[in-house]
Homo-oligomer: A and B are copies of this chain.
Amino acid sequence: MPRQKANIDRVFHALGDPTRRAIVERLSEAPISASHLATPLKITVAAVVQHLQILEKSGLVRTTKVGRVRTCRIEPKGFSVAEQWIGERRSMWEKRFDRLGDFLAEPEE
Protein backbone atom coordinates (compact mmCIF):
# COMPACT_ATOMS: atom_id res chain seq x y z
CA MET A 1 0.00 0.00 0.00
CA PRO A 2 1.40 3.40 -0.98
CA ARG A 3 2.47 5.58 1.89
CA GLN A 4 -0.07 8.31 1.13
CA LYS A 5 -2.96 5.87 0.99
CA ALA A 6 -2.05 4.48 4.39
CA ASN A 7 -2.11 7.99 5.78
CA ILE A 8 -5.56 8.68 4.36
CA ASP A 9 -6.65 5.54 6.17
CA ARG A 10 -5.23 6.79 9.45
CA VAL A 11 -6.76 10.25 9.10
CA PHE A 12 -10.29 9.12 8.30
CA HIS A 13 -10.14 6.37 10.87
CA ALA A 14 -9.06 8.91 13.47
CA LEU A 15 -11.88 11.28 12.56
CA GLY A 16 -14.36 8.43 12.56
CA ASP A 17 -14.58 8.36 16.34
CA PRO A 18 -16.77 10.96 18.08
CA THR A 19 -14.53 11.20 21.14
CA ARG A 20 -11.51 11.95 18.98
CA ARG A 21 -13.47 14.60 17.10
CA ALA A 22 -14.40 16.13 20.45
CA ILE A 23 -10.69 16.24 21.27
CA VAL A 24 -9.98 17.93 17.96
CA GLU A 25 -12.75 20.44 18.62
CA ARG A 26 -11.27 21.23 21.99
CA LEU A 27 -7.76 21.60 20.63
CA SER A 28 -9.00 23.87 17.89
CA GLU A 29 -9.76 26.46 20.55
CA ALA A 30 -6.50 26.16 22.44
CA PRO A 31 -3.62 23.81 23.24
CA ILE A 32 -4.23 21.89 26.42
CA SER A 33 -2.82 19.08 28.55
CA ALA A 34 -3.94 15.46 28.43
CA SER A 35 -5.58 15.47 31.85
CA HIS A 36 -7.48 18.67 31.08
CA LEU A 37 -8.74 17.03 27.93
CA ALA A 38 -10.04 14.09 29.93
CA THR A 39 -12.17 15.99 32.44
CA PRO A 40 -15.16 17.04 30.30
CA LEU A 41 -15.06 13.80 28.34
CA LYS A 42 -15.95 11.60 31.32
CA ILE A 43 -13.30 9.06 30.44
CA THR A 44 -10.00 8.21 32.12
CA VAL A 45 -6.72 9.88 31.22
CA ALA A 46 -5.45 6.53 29.98
CA ALA A 47 -8.22 6.43 27.38
CA VAL A 48 -7.43 9.98 26.30
CA VAL A 49 -3.77 9.08 25.86
CA GLN A 50 -4.78 6.18 23.63
CA HIS A 51 -6.83 8.54 21.49
CA LEU A 52 -3.94 10.99 21.41
CA GLN A 53 -1.62 8.31 20.09
CA ILE A 54 -4.00 7.62 17.22
CA LEU A 55 -4.47 11.32 16.52
CA GLU A 56 -0.73 11.89 16.60
CA LYS A 57 0.06 9.02 14.24
CA SER A 58 -2.57 10.33 11.85
CA GLY A 59 -0.85 13.71 11.81
CA LEU A 60 -3.89 15.63 13.06
CA VAL A 61 -2.41 16.46 16.44
CA ARG A 62 1.05 17.19 17.77
CA THR A 63 2.03 16.77 21.40
CA THR A 64 5.10 17.89 23.30
CA LYS A 65 6.01 16.85 26.81
CA VAL A 66 7.66 19.32 29.11
CA GLY A 67 8.18 18.25 32.67
CA ARG A 68 5.35 15.89 33.53
CA VAL A 69 2.69 17.58 31.43
CA ARG A 70 2.08 16.66 27.79
CA THR A 71 0.65 19.58 25.91
CA CYS A 72 -1.46 18.79 22.87
CA ARG A 73 -2.12 21.04 19.91
CA ILE A 74 -3.70 20.86 16.48
CA GLU A 75 -1.51 20.09 13.48
CA PRO A 76 -3.29 22.04 10.74
CA LYS A 77 -1.46 20.35 7.86
CA GLY A 78 -2.87 16.98 8.85
CA PHE A 79 -6.38 17.97 7.89
CA SER A 80 -5.52 18.82 4.32
CA VAL A 81 -5.23 15.08 3.64
CA ALA A 82 -8.94 14.68 4.30
CA GLU A 83 -9.91 17.89 2.54
CA GLN A 84 -7.89 16.88 -0.48
CA TRP A 85 -9.48 13.44 -0.69
CA ILE A 86 -12.97 14.91 -0.64
CA GLY A 87 -11.90 17.61 -3.05
CA GLU A 88 -10.62 15.08 -5.55
CA ARG A 89 -13.91 13.18 -5.48
CA ARG A 90 -15.84 16.38 -5.86
CA SER A 91 -13.88 17.43 -8.90
CA MET A 92 -14.57 14.03 -10.44
CA TRP A 93 -18.32 14.08 -10.15
CA GLU A 94 -18.48 17.73 -11.10
CA LYS A 95 -16.62 16.89 -14.27
CA ARG A 96 -19.24 14.27 -15.01
CA PHE A 97 -22.02 16.72 -14.41
CA ASP A 98 -20.43 19.02 -16.94
CA ARG A 99 -20.30 16.36 -19.63
CA LEU A 100 -23.82 15.17 -19.03
CA GLY A 101 -26.97 16.48 -17.46
CA ASP A 102 -27.06 16.16 -13.68
CA PHE A 103 -30.14 14.03 -13.62
CA LEU A 104 -29.54 11.95 -16.74
CA ALA A 105 -28.62 8.46 -15.59
CA GLU A 106 -25.53 6.88 -17.03
CA PRO A 107 -25.17 3.47 -15.37
CA GLU A 108 -22.13 1.45 -16.37
CA GLU A 109 -22.72 -1.59 -18.62
Contact = CB atoms under 8 A, between A and B. Distances in A.
Task: Report how many copies the assembly holds.
Answer: 2
Contact of A90 (B15, B29, B76, B86): B76
Given A15-B16, A36-B109, A71-B105, 14 more contacts: A12-B16, A16-B16, A21-B85, A25-B89, A28-B92, A28-B93, A29-B92, A30-B106, A30-B108, A31-B106, A33-B108, A74-B89, A79-B90, A82-B82
Interface string A56-70: 000000000000010
Interface residues of A, number: 38
A57 B61 CA distance: 29
Given A21-B12, A96-B30, A107-B33, A89 B83 contact: no
